[in-house]
Structure 1
Amino acid sequence: MNIDMIVIAQVIAVLGLAIGGSVLLASLNYPRHIRHALQSYAYAKLLLAAAFLIAAFRDGMATEFLVPLANGLASAAMSLNYVAVLRMQNKRTPPRLAESAGVLVAVACFLALRISPDDLNLVRAISSLVGAAFLLVIAVELLLLYQGRGVAHYMSGGLIVVNLLALVVRIWANAAQIGPSDNLAISDAVERGVYAVIFLSNIIGAIIFLLMASDEFNKELQVLANTDGLTGVLTRRRFLELAEIEFRRAKRYGRPLSLLIIDIDRFKAINDRAGHPFGDRVIKAVADCCATNLRPEDSIGRLGGEEFAILLPESDLEAGERIAERIRANIERSVGVLGAEKALAVTCSVGGVTLSPDHDSFASLIEQSDAALYEAKDRGRNRVHFAKAAA
C-alpha cells in the first residue's frame, strides 16, 4: 500500500470512529427498535474503522494474520449494515450474522494467503465478493421490501448501489490478475476509486441513515398519537377524523354506512368488585373481541372509559344489525370467561344507526346511535338496538 492510500485509509478510519461514536450517542434518544438499528449501524462503522486502521499500519508486520483480520472485520461491518436495516423495520435478524461473516471471510483470506503468500488480489476478490453480496441484499431490502419507504430510503438504496458497482469493478480488476503482484492491486486507480466511494459513503450514508431513523420515529409518534394505549384501537380523536371522512364519502356517493356504539354493562360494578386492573383487562378483552369480528375496511375507536364506536362502511341496516349481534354474542361468550374468574358477568349493550338521507352530519349519527344504546340499556342490557331514521 503506497503512501497516499495509507493516508486515505487513515482518514476513513478516523471518520468511521467519529461517525460510529456520534451515532451511538444519538441512538440513546430513540425508541427500542430504532435505537438497536442505530447501534448496529454505529458498530458497523467502528468495525470498518478498525479494518482500515489495520490496513493502514500493517506494512512490515504479520501480513498473513493482519490481512485476514482486516477483511474479516470489514465483512462483519457489512453484515451489521444489513442487520441495521432489518432492525429499523423491527424485523427479525439472523443470529450472530456479523460474527459468522467475519470469521468465515477471515479464514478464507488466511487460506488464500497460505496458498499464495504474495497474492493479495485473491484476498481482495474474496472480501469484495462477500461485501457485494451483502450490499445487494441491503439494496433489495431498501428499494423493494421496505414498507412505507420514502425519499431517505431511496437515497440510501442508491448509495448502496453505487458501492455495489464499485465492488463489482474491484472484483473484476483483482480477479483478472490473481497471482503474485507485489501486494498491489492491478490498478491503483480502481483501488483509489473504491476508497473514495467508501469515504463519501461514510459521510453521506450516516446522514441518510439518521434521516431514516427520524422518519421511523415520526411514524411511531403518529401511531402513538392515533392509538389508544390500553386497547390498541383508535383514539377518539382519530376515529372521529376517519369517521367524518367516511361519512362525507357515503353521503356524496349514496353508499350505505352504519355506526355502532358499544358499552360494557355495569362496568362500575366490575371495577368496584374486582379492582381497576381487572377492569382494564375487561376493556382490552372487549376491544380485542370487537376487532377480531371486523372487516379490514371497518374502524373501531375508544370513545372513553368502557365505550367504543365502530364504523361499518358499505353496511346497510341488515348488515349492521347482523355484525352488531355477532359482536355482542362473541363478547358474552369469550369475555364472559374472563369475568368468570371473579364470578362476574361481562356483557355489552350495542346501539346502532344506519345512514339515511336525513342525516346532515356525522354528529347526528353519533347522537342517534347513543340514544339507541341507552334504549338497549333500558330494555335490559346485553342486547342490540338500532335507531330509526332521523325524522
Structure 2
Amino acid sequence: MSSTFNILIVGALFCVLMLLVLTSLLRSGIPGIREWWVANVLACLALVLYAFGRELPPFIGYELTNGVYAAAAAAMLAGFRRFYGRSRMTPWLAAGVLLAVAAIALFHYRFDSYAMRTIAVAVFQGAICLGIAVTIMRGRSDWRSHYPSLFTVGMAAVITLGHGIRSVIYLTHTGEVTSLLQPSPLNLFFVSAGTFVLPVLTFGAVMLVHDTMLAAAELAANRDFLTGAWTRRAFFEHSEREILRARRMGRQLSLLLLDVDHFKKINDTHGHGVGDQVLIDLVKRAATVVRGVDYFARVGGEEFAVLLPETSREAAAVVAERMRAAVAQSDAARGKSKALPPYTISIGVSSLRGFESLHDLMRRADAALYAAKAMGRNRAVSEAGAEA
C-alpha cells in the first residue's frame, strides 16, 4: 500500500475520533455540534473513497468523492455559523458544492486535467476556511476566552493560505503530479496537510464548545437558581476585587443592602411559592434601576446587596430611593391583579472608607438597614442616619 493511502486512512480514523468526541457533546444542545458531526461523517467517507480511488468507477472516484468532501467542508462552515447564531446559508453552500462538482466534471470529461481538478477543490476548500475565519471574527463580541477562538481563526487562515499556495503550485507545475495517490514529495505534503484539515477545524470547534460549557457552568454556579441574581459567593469575590481596584485608583464605591419588609408574614399568609415570586419580582424591578457595571446579588433569604462602583454615598442614596420607589409605586397594580401581594423594601446605604474591608462596609450598610426598619420600613437610609 502506498504512503498516500496510509495517510488518507489515518485521516479517516481521526475523523472517527472527532465523531466520538462530538457524539459525547450532542446532548449539550449547543448549536453547531450536529453540523460538525455530519461534517466528520462525510469527511470520513470521502477520505476512505479517496484512498480506494483507483479501484472505484471514475464517476465515484472523481465527482462523487470530491462532492462528498466538499459537502463535509460546507457542513463545517454551517456549524460555525450556527454556533455564532447565524443562518446556515444552506442554499448558498449547496450551490457552492454543486459548482465545485461541476468544475471537477469539466476537468475530468471535457478537459482531463488532474491539476485543474485539484485547483477547483483547493479554491472551494479555501473559500470555506476563509468563511469560517470571517464567521468567528464577526462573532468576537461573543468570545468568552480568546485562546479557542484565536486558535481556530489561525488554523482556518493558515489552511486558506495553504490552499492558495497549492493552487499556484499546481497551476505552474501541471505535469508533475497526475494522481492523488501518486507518491511524489509534493503530493504527499499536500495530501498530508489536506487530510487533517477537518479534524483540526473540528478540534477548534470542540475547544469553543468546551469554553461555552465552562462559561455556562460558571454562570450557573454564580447565579441564584431562583431569582437569577448573583450568588453570595460570587458577590464576595467580585466585591473584593472592586474594593482593591477602588483603592488602587482612588475611586469611590458604595453598597446597598436591602430586604423585603415583613417577608415572613408574606410567606405565612400566602405561602412560600408566593414569597418566591415576590423575590423574583423584586430582582426584575431592581434591574430597571441598576447600571450594567453594578453588581446585584442575593446574599440571604430575602436580603440582597448592590455594589455600586465609582459611586458616592449621595449618588448611592439616590439609586436606593429609586429602587425603593420602583417597588412601592406598583403596590396598587399588584393588589388589583392579585398576582402578588403588595410588598415594600427597606435599604441601607454605606460607602467605602479608606482601607476598610468588605466586612466593615457591609456592617455599616447593615446598621443603616436596621435603622430603616426601626424608622418604619419602606425607606432608604444612609449610614449617617439620614433618610435618602
TM-score range, shorter chain: 0.7 to 0.9
Paired residues of 2:229 and 2:298 also in contact (CA < 8 A): yes
What is the match of residue 118 of structure 2? Answer: 124
Paired residues of 1:72 and 1:104 also in contact (CA < 8 A): no
Distance in 2 of aligned mates of 1:139 and 1:352: 49
Distance in 2 of aligned mates of 1:250 and 1:150: 27
Paired residues of 1:174 and 1:186 also in contact (CA < 8 A): no
Q: CA deviation at 1:373?
A: 1.7
For structure 1, which segment, 125-134 or 206-215, has the greater mean C-alpha deviation from structure 2 after superposition? 206-215
3-state SS, counterpart of residue 324 of structure 1: helix
3-state SS, counterpart of residue 347 of structure 2: strand
1:98-123 Cα distance to aligned partner (Å, 9 max, x none):
x7524641354236525860345444
Paired residues of 2:78 and 2:89 also in contact (CA < 8 A): no
Paired residues of 1:271 and 1:279 also in contact (CA < 8 A): yes
What is the match of residue 243 of structure 2? Answer: 247
What is the match of residue 67 of structure 2? Answer: 72
- Say which of 86, 89, 106 aligns to 1:93: 86
- Say which of 38, 44, 53 aligns to 1:49: 44
Q: CA deviation at 1:316?
A: 1.9
* Structure 1 residues 240 and 124: alpha-carbon distance in aligned structure 2, compared to 1, 3 A threshold: same
Paired residues of 2:115 and 2:178 also in contact (CA < 8 A): no
* Structure 1 residues 198 and 186: alpha-carbon distance in aligned structure 2, compared to 1, 3 A threshold: closer
3-state SS, counterpart of residue 299 of structure 2: strand
What is the match of residue 166 of structure 1? Answer: 162
Distance in 2 of aligned mates of 1:270 and 1:79: 58
* Structure 1 residues 187 and 227: alpha-carbon distance in aligned structure 2, compared to 1, 3 A threshold: same
Q: How does 1:206-217 map to 2 (within 5 A)?
A: 209-217=205-213
What is the match of residue 110 of structure 1? Answer: 102
Distance in 2 of aligned mates of 1:312 and 1:44: 48
* Structure 1 residues 308 and 335: alpha-carbon distance in aligned structure 2, compared to 1, 3 A threshold: farther
3-state SS, counterpart of residue 263 of structure 1: strand
What is the match of residue 322 of structure 2? Answer: 326
2:345 aligned with 1:348: yes
* Structure 1 residues 227 and 375: alpha-carbon distance in aligned structure 2, compared to 1, 3 A threshold: same
Q: CA deviation at 1:286?
A: 1.5
Distance in 2 of aligned mates of 1:254 and 1:150: 30
Q: CA deviation at 1:26?
A: 3.2
For structure 1, which segment, 117-126 or 204-213, has the greater mean C-alpha deviation from structure 2 after superposition? 204-213
Distance in 2 of aligned mates of 1:228 and 1:183: 62
Distance in 1 of aligned mates of 2:28 and 2:205: 15
Paired residues of 1:228 and 1:235 also in contact (CA < 8 A): yes
2:281 aligned with 1:285: yes
RMSD over aligned CA atoms reads: 3.6
* Structure 1 residues 47 and 115: alpha-carbon distance in aligned structure 2, compared to 1, 3 A threshold: closer
Paired residues of 2:257 and 2:348 also in contact (CA < 8 A): yes
Letter of the structure 1 residue corresponding to residue 101 of structure 2? C
* Structure 1 residues 235 and 68: alpha-carbon distance in aligned structure 2, compared to 1, 3 A threshold: same
* Structure 1 residues 188 and 170: alpha-carbon distance in aligned structure 2, compared to 1, 3 A threshold: farther
3-state SS, counterpart of residue 310 of structure 1: strand
Work out the percentage of aligned pairs sharing the same amino acid: 28
What is the match of residue 361 of structure 2? Answer: 365
- Say which of 272, 287, 299 aligns to 1:303: 299
1:220-248 Cα distance to aligned partner (Å, 9 max, x none):
33222222222222211121222233334
* Structure 1 residues 276 and 131: alpha-carbon distance in aligned structure 2, compared to 1, 3 A threshold: farther
Distance in 2 of aligned mates of 1:192 and 1:102: 30
For structure 1, which segment, 61-70 or 362-371, has the greater mean C-alpha deviation from structure 2 after superposition? 61-70
1:278-324 Cα distance to aligned partner (Å, 9 max, x none):
43333222212222322233211111222110111222232111111
* Structure 1 residues 113 and 79: alpha-carbon distance in aligned structure 2, compared to 1, 3 A threshold: closer
- Say which of 219, 222, 227 aligns to 1:226: 222
Distance in 2 of aligned mates of 1:332 and 1:159: 56
Q: With the length of structure 1 as denominator, give the TM-score of the two structures.
A: 0.81
Letter of the structure 2 residue corresponding to residue 42 of structure 1? W
Distance in 1 of aligned mates of 2:211 and 2:227: 25
Q: Which runs of 5+ in 2 are unaligned?
A: none
Distance in 2 of aligned mates of 1:78 and 1:68: 15
What is the match of residue 134 of structure 1? Answer: 128
Letter of the structure 2 residue corresponding to residue 237 of structure 1? R
- Say which of 19, 22, 25 aligns to 1:21: 19
Paired residues of 1:75 and 1:102 also in contact (CA < 8 A): no
* Structure 1 residues 269 and 106: alpha-carbon distance in aligned structure 2, compared to 1, 3 A threshold: same
* Structure 1 residues 386 and 73: alpha-carbon distance in aligned structure 2, compared to 1, 3 A threshold: same
Paired residues of 2:62 and 2:104 also in contact (CA < 8 A): no
What is the match of residue 11 of structure 1? Answer: 10
* Structure 1 residues 67 and 277: alpha-carbon distance in aligned structure 2, compared to 1, 3 A threshold: farther
* Structure 1 residues 261 and 182: alpha-carbon distance in aligned structure 2, compared to 1, 3 A threshold: closer
Distance in 2 of aligned mates of 1:288 and 1:174: 63
Paired residues of 1:236 and 1:303 also in contact (CA < 8 A): yes
Paired residues of 1:173 and 1:186 also in contact (CA < 8 A): no
What is the match of residue 194 of structure 1? Answer: 190
